[in-house]
Structure 1
């Protein structure tokens, strides 16, 4: 088959990674893969796996983008993909307006993926316009059914995101060279039990709740907090705000801010407990699954995709959402006597890829 995926850009991020992984999988099976985006540093990886990339500014949220609709219709007529897969709202609007003006007998079959809990409005509803709509978790499927009652339930398909167990092997430990380098860079972490909150520095990640939990666990010996994630320049003021909060609580000497890292797997692997404290539900929660895949205990607020994972794989880590005082007692239990993390889990990359291909085949057959 021939599959054309459309995405705003191929710079970085989970949706972009999923686009690349699917492209690689399609190529490995001998299918033809195309991606239309505004470009980015991941284009080289796309082309390395045999995918053709076509550069168009389909992610620009401006009125002038409507001029791309005739161009996209011509592109679809020329390339004749079997599947058109849309993953983001602006490209979805442009592509849907182009697609609906084509002959239903010859146009591609249309698939959309709802990747997140977008604001509920007509603009976001476009992500439900596919002939099949992929939801990245059961939580997303329930969100769509609740807020978009016009969408027939029978066209929704849950295909959970997934990770590669070979990339996150159970029991993995970093090399002694990496460990020594990390401790040299962040000496306060040496010999400590690390309580790690991964993710970008944004207001929704629950950094304030981490401060409450650390304060509640002040008597735990050798406990040290790690915030593993960078701050966008626009979030610099919020980062300063968080550091001021930790200083006011006399916790700054018990905290390490790593900034953006390319070695998050290693940081997760040396952690005693990994946290997910997002104040609003996440659609899936990849870092939570990465930590569980490595065999590291996880404590997370029981909502959204993270709640789904924990209820199935590690119920001991389920926390009442947005209640850090109660969370602290559960985290203490995981630090002192953690239940074993199971080796097997269903949320694998292979299962995600096979599930997506099954949706395509369902439409084509």
Structure 2
């Protein structure tokens, strides 16, 4: 097996599924003796990336400005100096910068180009760049169909690789350490002795925060031992919505029943102590990592039945899928599950090891194709 130098490119390393996947592939590269580079504007996840053996290159390649195009010759110089074999791009604006740097290099000097379609990009020329890779990874059957419909992506260029979780870390029966629980209940004493309902998502309308609060209102009227948690950061520009949501909670008389924690890095532990976790995005998720992490812990999920989340639910807990926007159906199912908790099927389909190996297989395949072309 040829040892490779792989450069992954994305806007930043703050938080999110794309960012987590980048670190996971980077770790797999290092573990198999490859050289792993990541280029971004930086963020809170850089320290973790570097601690696992990768090199981070700081570059504002995701900044949507014509000035960013000045990085094109710098990128070419970096690729030559660091002898990069593969550039793997995970976001649209960086993909344009990378593509023009790649396209304007002599063919014999170019690294191989891989892209991942991570979402439902708005159809058009700007988004089509994500299908410009010599190999294109799609993260769910839903995204695969979307790419075929809107971008006429040829099957031979496309590889379906589900996002995956580490089933040695996310497994049924996992519980946080006693010290963590003690700290949690000291910080949130209102959750002590309660059965927790959790929505782990950024605080925004499209993530279903309002639907969750309405659902909780129905459930809390019948069960006094329930406490609801909204765990997620408020993105820039969403402060007004967060304030409106707090007002909605107060008007509904739910202030003692609902807690908004903001961003937390211990979401796994919160999921593990929850009774039911929700995925209520009004627009379909391309995949939905948090849902899969929860199901892998053996914790039931109630989810709107669309997007990549629907594929997970169909495999692991089909009875938890409800019609999009049907708050009454979700509330009734919650009440039923509070009486009798359903069993979640073991996760053998969406694993981290499988995702990592299949991604590295794509890298080896695109390198083999380049050798065939040049031979």
TM-score by length of 1: 0.94
Match of 1:351 among 338, 342, 354: 354
Counterpart CA distance in 2 for 1:207 and 1:71 is 43
Q: Is the partner of 1:170 in helix, strand or coil? A: coil
1:357–1:62 Cα change, 3 Å: same
Q: How many corresponding residue pairs?
A: 364
The residue number in structure 1 matching 2:66 is 63
The residue number in structure 2 matching 1:7 is 10
Match of 1:191 among 190, 193, 202: 193
The residue number in structure 1 matching 2:344 is 341
1:180 equivalenced with 2:182 (yes/no): yes
Match of 2:273 among 237, 256, 270: 270
Give, in angstroms, the shift of residue 314 of structure 1. 0.5
List alignment gaps of at least 5 residues for structure 2. Answer: 369-375
Match of 2:145 among 142, 145, 170: 142
1:34 equivalenced with 2:24 (yes/no): no
The residue number in structure 2 matching 1:210 is 212
Preserved CA contact (<8 Å) 2:316 2:346: no
The residue number in structure 2 matching 1:224 is 227
Q: Is the partner of 1:258 in helix, strand or coil? A: strand
The residue number in structure 1 matching 2:167 is 165
1:233–1:135 Cα change, 3 Å: closer
Larger deviation: 163-172 or 224-233? Answer: 224-233
Larger deviation: 19-28 or 171-180? Answer: 171-180
Give, in angstroms, the shift of residue 360 of structure 1. 1.1
The residue number in structure 1 matching 2:293 is 290
Counterpart CA distance in 1 for 2:158 and 2:103 is 20
Match of 2:284 among 281, 286, 297: 281
Give, in angstroms, the shift of residue 18 of structure 1. 1.7
TM-score by length of 2: 0.92
Larger deviation: 48-57 or 24-33? Answer: 48-57
1:248 equivalenced with 2:255 (yes/no): no
Counterpart CA distance in 2 for 1:287 and 1:8 is 21
1:152–1:8 Cα change, 3 Å: same
Give, in angstroms, the shift of residue 15 of structure 1. 1.7
Give, in angstroms, the shift of residue 120 of structure 1. 2.1
The residue number in structure 2 matching 1:126 is 129
Q: How does 1:12-31 map to 2 (within 5 A)?
A: 12-31=15-34
Preserved CA contact (<8 Å) 1:80 1:107: no
Larger deviation: 27-36 or 128-137? Answer: 27-36
Counterpart CA distance in 1 for 2:260 and 2:205 is 15
Preserved CA contact (<8 Å) 2:295 2:347: no
